[in-house]
Each structure stands twice: as structure tokens, then as C-alpha cells.
Structure 1
Amino acid sequence: MPGMRPARWAAAVPMAVLALVTVYPLLFTANVAMKTRREYVLDRFAPAGSLRWDNLAEAWAGAGMARYFANSFVVVAFAVALLLLLGSMAGFALSRLRFRGSSLIYLGCLAGLFVPFQVIMVPLTRIMADTGLVDTYPGLILAYVAQFLPFTVFLMTSHYRTIPAEIVDAARIDGNTVYGVYRRIMLPLGVPALLSVGILDMLFCWNDVLISLLMMPSPEHRTLMIGVNSLRGQYSDDIPTFASGVLIAAVPVLMLYLFLQRQIAEGVTAGSTKG
């Protein structure tokens, strides 16, 4: 409609500007990563004269980004798998099973969403040190699970509450145990929510700096984001190589956003409405 065009332009122009502001740092980093040191010193904003793929190779092999990438992949994969398992089981129990203290447990999960990690990082580090889990993969995995489990439980509980109770009752009448209802009914019906929550948990763990910095002090155990930060000092006079490391760390997250935009949006809005 002609009368709607000014309103559409009023919304489209700010969104276009916001998109450009968001994309520009990535384009600038990619441009710097393709330059030589001389080109960067002469004009850091000018387009790269040629594509210097050897900068990426130096950051990947010479700066140890391959090891950091592998460390992050292993830790994030196990942490997300454990989060989804515990979160889906807890979400099913809190949404469909009635037992003493269930409301208090759910309120405790909600309260955990509002506790910043900075509040618990000292006692958590102390506990991990006393149990010998500092600078180990299991220690970092458990730290991630402890930090992001309340969020996962909250979203899975919200999703399972939208499933009609008659489905659960029918499954129990057919002779399924509680575990059978969870495995045969609730778990398949929860796949869309599990996918959305899993993507968000993966982004949280992948982009984490503070928890990994506390749990993994050794250079060989660093995750990708800590490795990128370490490049700042190691390659302070070689900005193109440093930019290449930043680009390597950003590409997996960027690809995730490009191909799974709908699932990420569904995960962010999960629990905001009641079905």
C-alpha cells in the first residue's frame, strides 16, 4: 500500500545502517588478514593489494590456532551434549511430574539465571582446585554445565509445558514407565527445542573467555577465544596475522548464524509465550 511506504522506509533505513555497522568490523578484519605488514602500516583502511592466504596458514599452524580450535571443539561438544541430556530430563520432570520440592527446584533454576558468573567464580575455582579439576577438560566441561544448565532447564521446561498432558496420560495408560514416556514421547517431541537450545549453549560455550581463562591456565589447554587473546601479545607487531586468528575464530560462529538463523531465533523466544 502506498500509505505504508514511509513507515517501511522509517524501519528499513535504521535496520540497514545497523546491519552495515555490524558487518563492517568483520569485513575490516578480513581485509587486514589479507594484507602484508607493509600494506597495513602504510594504510590500514585501504583494500588489500593481493590475497595473502599465508597469513591464515601462519595463524592456524604457527600460532597454534589448530590446537586451540581442537580444544574448543572437544570441550563444547561434550558440554553441550551433557547440557541437553540433563536439561531435557530436568525439563520433563519439572513440567510433567509432580513431586515434593519441584516448584522450589524450578524457582532455583530461575534464580540461577540472574546470578552473574563473577559472583560464583571464586568459590567455583576453589572447588575445582580442591578436586584437581583445574586445567583439565572435564573441569571446564563441568564448569560450563554448571553455568548454563539453569538456562537450558528453563527453556526445556517451558517447551514441555506446551505439550498436551493427554499425550503423557495416554502413554502411561499404554504401560510406559516414566522413563519410557521421556524416551519415546517427550524426547522426540522436544527435538525442535533441543536443537534451538543446543545452538545457543554452543554459542555461549564457544564464545566464553572468563570461565576458560580461570579453568585452563596452561597454554596447551587453551580454548580458541583464549588463544586469540594470546595472539595480541605474541603478534603485536604483526597485525595481519593477529587479524587472521580473529577471523578463524569468527568463521564458525558466522556460519552457524547464517545456516541456523531460524533455530537461533526460536531458541531466544522460547518460553516467552505460553501455549
Structure 2
Amino acid sequence: MRGPRASTWIVAVPMMALALATIYPLVFTANVAMKTRHDYILDRFSPAGSLNWDNVVTAWTSAGMARYFVNSLIVVAASVALLLLFGSMAGFALSHLRFRGSRALFLGCLAALFIPFQVIMVPLARTMADAGLIDTYPGLVLAYVAQFLPFTIYLMASYYSGIPREIVDAARIDGNTVYGVFRRIMLPMGSPALLSVGILDALFCWNDVLIALLMMPSAQHRTLMVGVTSLRGQYSSDIPTFASGVLIAAVPVLVVYLVFQRQIADAVTAGSTKG
């Protein structure tokens, strides 16, 4: 009995330490956000004496976090919708349709996963500027779709490849076109993968700073994460207000992780278990 118990503790102790190291920054940020500037200067590590929401209200209204929040919602919703549409269609085509160059196209999607955004950052910015898409919602949405579409295609193709080809053949025999098979068969069967991939894409877009900072230079169109980075300079002497901005940006992500943690885990392991 000592052997299994010892091996369990060997795994459990590092996992608990990792969990504490992950949770502590959020708890510390929430505690600082509840303090006044005077209390923070006196002792930054002591627990807040009471729940002081004035800093959160200031960050939401005066610091412009409400506007940044709306900008992020618009961009993320549009980007995820396009990613799921194009990713599911391409995933179905690459997994169940055979056409010339399909294998090379799939390998090209895999290769695109390994290209850092910093490599294409300058040509992307110049192309978007020539098209007049800098500092516009469509420009940032297109940048997100271009950046995260290979990942979406790969996961959807991996999932669809686990669906027996006989189902597709039977649907074609019944008179369905390729589009009919996709709409009536593949989309309903792929809904678990669409949910999982959609959550991951939403988190990627929500947490992004570099692409949004490049595509949205004006303060009016900043996304939430870019707005949080700007708070550091604007409220460098008012740390509780800055912590409130960080808390506002972190809470939606935390809620998504807690509610959809199983779907996120399924999406992360989809590529290794399907196909």
C-alpha cells in the first residue's frame, strides 16, 4: 500500500503547489482592488478591512474599462463566429473530401501553427494599412481569423476524421449534396468540437495584447487587455485602481474556465485522440 500512496503524493504535492501559485496572484489582485490607496501604502499584503468597490467603479467608468469591455465583446464574437464557420467547413473538406492538393493543404495548415506572429507582424500591418483596415473592427477581426484559423482547422479536421466515412457515403446516396452533408450531418455531429474550439478561440482572442495593440492604436478602439496595459502608466500611483482593471479583465476568463473546463480539456486533447 505504501507504493501507490507514495506515488500519489509525489504527483499531488507538485499539483497543489502549482494550483496555489496560480490562484495566489488572483487573490492578491482582488485583495488590493478592495483597498484604498492609503491602506495599500501602509501594508500591501494585509487583508482588506472591507469590500471597497470604489476602485472597481473608477476603473469601469473613469478609466474607460466599460468601453474596452464592449470593444472586446464585439471583436471576440465576430472572430469566433468566422473561425468556427471557416474552420468547420475546411475541417470537413480536409477530413472527408478527396481533391488534388488536399494533403498539401492540410500540411500547410499544420506548418502555419509553428509560425510566430512576430514573423508576419510587419507585412500584416503594412497590408492592413494599405487596405485601410487599421484601427477598425473588421481589421482586427480579420487579423484574428488569419492568426487562429490554422489551429481551428486542425482541431476540426482531427475531430471530423473520427466520424466514419460510411455516414457521409450514406448521406450522399440519399441524395444530399456536399453542402447538405455538411449542414445536416457534420455540423450536428461536430457540435461538441465546435463548442470546445470556440471556447479556446474566444480565450485566445480575449487574452491577446500584441495583435490588438498593433491593429487598434487609438484609445477609442482599444480592447480590454490593451486597456489594462495602458492603466499601468495612467494609474501608476494608484495601484488599487490598476488592480481593479486587472480584476475586471480576469473575471470573465475565470468564469469561462470554471464553467467550460471539461470542453477546454477536450479541445486541447482532440488532436491527439482523433484520427
Normalised by the length of structure 1, the TM-score is 0.99
Within 5 A, what are the aligned runs for 1:49-88? 49-88=49-88
d(CA) in 1 for partners of 2:138, 2:274: 36
Q: Which amino acid aligns with 1:26?
A: L
Instruction: Please report how far the alpha carbon of residue 6 of structure 1 lies from its aligned counterpart in structure 2 after TM superposition.
Output: 1.6
d(CA) in 1 for partners of 2:177, 2:274: 27
The alignment status of 1:260 with 2:260, answered yes or no, reads: yes
The alignment status of 1:95 with 2:95, answered yes or no, reads: yes
Instruction: Please report how far the alpha carbon of residue 100 of structure 1 lies from its aligned counterpart in structure 2 after TM superposition.
Output: 1.0
d(CA) in 2 for partners of 1:207, 1:94: 29
The alignment status of 1:22 with 2:22, answered yes or no, reads: yes
Provide the residue aligned with 2:144 in structure 1.
144
Q: Which runs of 4+ in 1 moved over 2 A?
A: none
d(CA) in 2 for partners of 1:188, 1:70: 31
CA-based RMSD? 0.8
What runs of 5+ residues in structure 2 fail to find an aligned partner? none
Provide the residue aligned with 1:9 in structure 2.
9
Q: How many residues align?
A: 275
What runs of 5+ residues in structure 1 fail to find an aligned partner? none
Instruction: Please report how far the alpha carbon of residue 205 of structure 1 lies from its aligned counterpart in structure 2 after TM superposition.
Output: 0.3
d(CA) in 2 for partners of 1:252, 1:158: 29
Provide the residue aligned with 1:198 in structure 2.
198
Q: Which amino acid aligns with 1:76?
A: V
Provide the residue aligned with 1:189 in structure 2.
189
Provide the residue aligned with 2:44 in structure 1.
44
The alignment status of 1:169 with 2:189, answered yes or no, reads: no
* SS in structure 2 at match of 1:262: helix
Within 5 A, what are the aligned runs for 1:102-251? 102-251=102-251
Instruction: Please report how far the alpha carbon of residue 101 of structure 1 lies from its aligned counterpart in structure 2 after TM superposition.
Output: 1.1
d(CA) in 2 for partners of 1:49, 1:175: 70
d(CA) in 1 for partners of 2:108, 2:87: 14
Q: Which amino acid aligns with 2:127?
A: I
Instruction: Please report how far the alpha carbon of residue 3 of structure 1 lies from its aligned counterpart in structure 2 after TM superposition.
Output: 4.3
Normalised by the length of structure 2, the TM-score is 0.99
Instruction: Please report how far the alpha carbon of residue 97 of structure 1 lies from its aligned counterpart in structure 2 after TM superposition.
Output: 0.8
Q: Cα deviation per residue 1:189-240 (whole Å; 9 max; x = unaligned)?
A: 1101101100110010000000000000010000000000010011011000
Instruction: Please report how far the alpha carbon of residue 2 of structure 1 lies from its aligned counterpart in structure 2 after TM superposition.
Output: 5.5
Q: Cα deviation per residue 1:98-130 (whole Å; 9 max; x = unaligned)?
A: 111111111110110000000000000000000
d(CA) in 2 for partners of 1:34, 1:122: 41
